[in-house]
Amino acid sequence: MLPLLIDDAARPEHEVGDGLSTVNQDVRLDNRILDLRTSTNQAIFKLEAGVVHVYRRSLERRGFVEIHTPKIIPAASEGGANVFEVSYFKGSAYLAQSPQFYKQMAIAADFDRVFTIGSVFRAEDSNTHRHLCEFIGLDFEMAFNYHYHEVLDVIGELFVELFKGLQQEYADEIKTIDRQFPCEPFRFLEPSLRINFSEGVQLLRDNGVEMGDEEDLSTANEKLLGKIIRQKYDTDFYILDKFPLAVRPFYTMPDPDNPKYSNSYDLFMRGEEIMSGAQRVHDPEFLIERIKHLGIGNESYSYKKSLIFSISIPFTCKLDPNKMKSYIDSFRYGAPPHAGGGIGLERVTMLFLGLNNIRKTSLFPRDPKRVSP
Amino acid sequence: MLPLLIDDAARPEHEVGDGLSTVNQDVRLDNRILDLRTSTNQAIFKLEAGVVHVYRRSLERRGFVEIHTPKIIPAASEGGANVFEVSYFKGSAYLAQSPQFYKQMAIAADFDRVFTIGSVFRAEDSNTHRHLCEFIGLDFEMAFNYHYHEVLDVIGELFVELFKGLQQEYADEIKTIDRQFPCEPFRFLEPSLRINFSEGVQLLRDNGVEMGDEEDLSTANEKLLGKIIRQKYDTDFYILDKFPLAVRPFYTMPDPDNPKYSNSYDLFMRGEEIMSGAQRVHDPEFLIERIKHLGIGNESYSYKKSLIFSISIPFTCKLDPNKMKSYIDSFRYGAPPHAGGGIGLERVTMLFLGLNNIRKTSLFPRDPKRVSP
């Protein structure tokens, strides 16, 4: 007897009942080979390939060069929390939580515009619908001439091209998936909506939320803001710019006009964060100053947003400039001002399709409880 | 003072002397940001991006779907040698030596033709010009209808498109690199040259080499054969088909017409192996039979070629069907006959350009002695 029936695995949830059943997530994943044979799953992974394809095409058109960054990194990197340790010959090393430092080093090495697509590792014990311990990061970084909004303009265009490309070139796949997992089509504006963090806070306050100016958004408030913005602007995608400096990592460039804020941004799809990016501090002395300001005296430095993007996590990082020497040194011979970001492939696919679990968009997902098949 | 001068780093080796110096490899890598600023290095990494671009374009044109396979794999996988161990929450896991089992599982899940581009990890203490502990694998796998030569035909076409694409679309980069590292242009035939292993052995014997029919090629003999074939056929690229079964991994399909041989192949560029592939055993009972034949009684089973492709390593694998359950089970619900392979990006770039060290084609290389920057 088969461990699951394709008919059950392919049944829309609203048709379950009257003796008709579905297959729960763990049974599906334990028997992934069979589960993947449904036309829904075939379509999901074709569309996911499409996300990478369209995204990469858009970047290459704009002169971004594809690079490959190491996943095994030395101990002295971004702090010790939430990283997987690896035995490396007689010593030990860690799995990269993000390619960020390396793509920035490529910018310092005069690559101008780079992107990289690869595995990202997070040793977080997060058992939610949207966290994985291993996922695919689509990262990019670019030098700019005058203002980091040049980069935000590119990001806005990239996502418009992504959503359009998917809806036009993958219409059949979307239709197939919609039969099993019905969902309102993804809505977006052209150009992309961009509002300041403080405007977002104001919208929340107008809707009864109490929060401080320099407080980060909770997950609940992110979702609420997504709903408010959907009603007001008719879009499932928007960019929130100018986050409070206090809630962003040490390498984030402060806003020169207002030191309480920073040149950093988050992107949202259907009320969930899919990317967190920023202009980076590219002056080594200022970088050390920021590290000292945040790290020394405070003993450890905690911020809610991930070091990087695409996943919001509580993160405590013992900051010490000596441990970040090669990163800081990469800016010593001159580096252009630059900004970037990265998205989590599985999360973008999930939210574009309005699916309820990131395990649906990972071929063989890895979470704290699952490392097989 | 700068740790290295761009002028020195960019100087062709034949111009060194008379007070003019170059920069040794370790100093370059210790100061990679500066080293990468030479126009040669800029061109090398643009061409490397081109390898991925052209290869992917060729696969997508042929209906291959891009997938992403986990890099963190459970203990019970391909045997314990040469793998990096990872702490995974309260247990431990390993870094994948190849995406092979997962791309095969995608084929068993009806994906028909898949490819994947991602990091591959080898914990080998090999300090040579062509080994890395972490590299980028460009892997593909496809179902076929009647004969695995359908797959070899596709592989041959892929590489012709790759070499043509690089020479046509990246001519400027090749010219720039050639100024610092002069090299004869890469030569290839259309269609690609394909000869049987036994013919290769005969060519070697005609040139004084003594070797048995079922013996694998040593690295020295690989290089010699590359030279002989270059002289005889005027090509730097060829496919050697029908390797002796005895020197291939357990999942290799035996040749139905001659049980001493197998439906497996290696690809060579300038006399060095860049890919090892095969038709895989897709019948679970036969797979168990092969494992038992090779594993039990022999205690451990040793073969020179890597489990996978792209890197030749001595490998000892304690074979036990229980440890490969999820892999074997993936064929239990029916799987089409299939074959595939994968190339190491850095090695292909190195050999196409005729460079002498794989560290020249890895942005931030990882070897047994280097895990930084």
Contacts with B, A 28-57, CB within 8 Å: 32-34, 36-37, 42, 45-46, 49, 52-53
Residue A57 falls in the annotated catalytic set: no
Residue A77 falls in the annotated catalytic set: no
Confidence category of residue A76, pLDDT binned at 50, 70, 90 = very low
| Dist CA A266 CA A326 (whole Å) | 27
**How is residue B146 annotated by DSSP?**
S
User: Chain A contact for B127, CB < 8 A?
Assistant: no
| Residue among A86, A111, A345 whose CB faces B84 most closely | A86
pLDDT at residue B52 in the model:
98
Handedness of CA A46, A51, A56, A57 (dihedral sign): positive
| Residue among A69, A108, A364 whose CB faces B69 most closely | A364
Nearest CA-CA distance, residue A295 and chain B, Å = 22
User: Using the beta-carbon criterion (under 8 Å), do A49 and B34 form an inter-chain contact?
Assistant: no
Nearest residue on chain A to B333, judged by CA atoms? Answer: A34
- The structure's pTM equals 0.94
Catalytic residue among A124, A141, A161, A346: A124
Residue A124 falls in the annotated catalytic set: yes
Nearest CA-CA distance, residue B44 and chain A, Å = 11
Task: Outline where chain A has alpha helix (H).
Answer: 6-9, 25-30, 32-35, 39-61, 100-108, 149-169, 171-180, 197-206, 219-233, 284-295, 325-329, 345-353
Helix B219-233, helix B197-206: angle, nearest 10 = 90
Q: What is the pLDDT of residues A306-360, one digit of tens each?
A: 333 333 233 345 667 777 788 899 999 999 999 999 999 999 999 999 999 999 9
| Residue among A53, A68, A372 whose CB faces B74 most closely | A372
User: Chain B contact for A119, CB < 8 A?
Assistant: yes
Indicate the residue type of A152.
Answer: L
Nearest CA-CA distance, residue B318 and chain A, Å = 20
Confidence category of residue A82, pLDDT binned at 50, 70, 90 = confident
Nearest residue on chain A to B39, judged by CA atoms? Answer: A110
Contacts of A72 in chain B (CB under 8 A): 84, 121, 133-134, 366, 371
Residue B14 falls in the annotated catalytic set: no
pLDDT at residue A315 in the model:
39
User: Using the beta-carbon criterion (under 8 Å), do B368 and A72 form an inter-chain contact?
Assistant: no
Confidence category of residue A18, pLDDT binned at 50, 70, 90 = confident
| Residue among B68, B86, B366 whose CB faces A84 most closely | B86
Residue A273 falls in the annotated catalytic set: yes
**Residue B276's CB: how many other CB atoms inside 10 A?**
25
User: Using the beta-carbon criterion (under 8 Å), do B102 and A363 form an inter-chain contact?
Assistant: yes
User: Chain B contact for A19, CB < 8 A?
Assistant: no
pLDDT in tens, chain B (373 residues): 789 999 999 999 889 988 899 999 999 999 999 999 999 999 999 999 999 999 999 999 999 999 999 999 986 445 556 899 999 999 999 999 999 999 999 999 999 999 999 999 999 999 999 999 999 999 999 999 999 999 999 999 999 999 999 999 999 999 999 999 999 999 999 999 999 999 999 999 999 999 999 999 999 999 999 999 999 999 999 999 999 999 998 899 999 999 999 999 999 999 999 999 999 999 999 999 998 888 654 445 554 443 333 332 334 456 677 778 888 999 999 999 999 999 999 999 999 999 999 999 999 999 999 998 8
| Dist CA B11 CA B179 (whole Å) | 9
Indicate the residue type of A369.
Answer: K
- A72's enclosing H/E stretch is strand A72-73
| Dist CA B76 CA B88 (whole Å) | 14
Nearest CA-CA distance, residue A274 and chain B, Å = 19
Mean pLDDT of chain A: 91
pLDDT at residue A322 in the model:
75
| Dist CA B203 CA B205 (whole Å) | 5
| Dist CA A239 CA A156 (whole Å) | 8
Poorest-confidence range of A30-44, A49-63, A76-90, B336-350? A76-90
Write down the ipTM of this complex: 0.94
Output A234-237 pairs: Cβ under 8 A, ≥24 positions apart: A234/A187, A234/A189, A235/A187, A235/A188, A235/A189, A235/A192, A235/A193, A236/A186, A236/A187, A236/A188, A236/A269, A236/A270, A237/A159, A237/A163, A237/A186, A237/A187, A237/A188, A237/A189, A237/A192, A237/A193, A237/A267, A237/A268, A237/A269
User: Using the beta-carbon criterion (under 8 Å), do A371 and B93 form an inter-chain contact?
Assistant: yes
Indicate the residue type of A121.
Answer: F
Contacts of B333 in chain A (CB under 8 A): 2, 33-34
Nearest CA-CA distance, residue B280 and chain A, Å = 17
User: Using the beta-carbon criterion (under 8 Å), do A36 and B333 form an inter-chain contact?
Assistant: no
Contacts with B, A 320-359, CB within 8 Å: 326-327, 329-330, 333, 345
Q: How many Cα neighbours within 13 Å face the side chain of A184? A: 9
Helix A39-61, helix A171-180: angle, nearest 10 = 140
Helix A39-61, helix A149-169: angle, nearest 10 = 140
Q: Cβ(A78)–Cβ(B372) under 8 Å?
A: no
Nearest CA-CA distance, residue B127 and chain A, Å = 13
| Residue among B89, B110, B371 whose CB faces A74 most closely | B371
Q: What is the pLDDT of residues A234-249, one digit of tens each?
A: 999 999 999 999 999 8
| Dist CA B179 CA B170 (whole Å) | 15
Strand-pairing partners, residue A340, are A141, A278
Radius of gyration of chain B (CA): 21
* Alpha carbon A150 to chain centroid, angstroms: 20
pLDDT at residue A360 in the model:
98
Confidence category of residue A271, pLDDT binned at 50, 70, 90 = very high
**Coil, strand or helix: which one is B129?**
coil
Q: What is the pLDDT of residues A122-172, one digit of tens each?
A: 999 999 999 999 999 999 999 999 999 999 999 999 999 999 999 999 999
Q: Cβ(A204)–Cβ(A211) under 8 Å?
A: yes
| Dist CA B324 CA B303 (whole Å) | 18
> For residue A354, is it left (φ>0), alpha (ψ between -120 and 50) or beta?
left
pLDDT at residue A305 in the model:
43
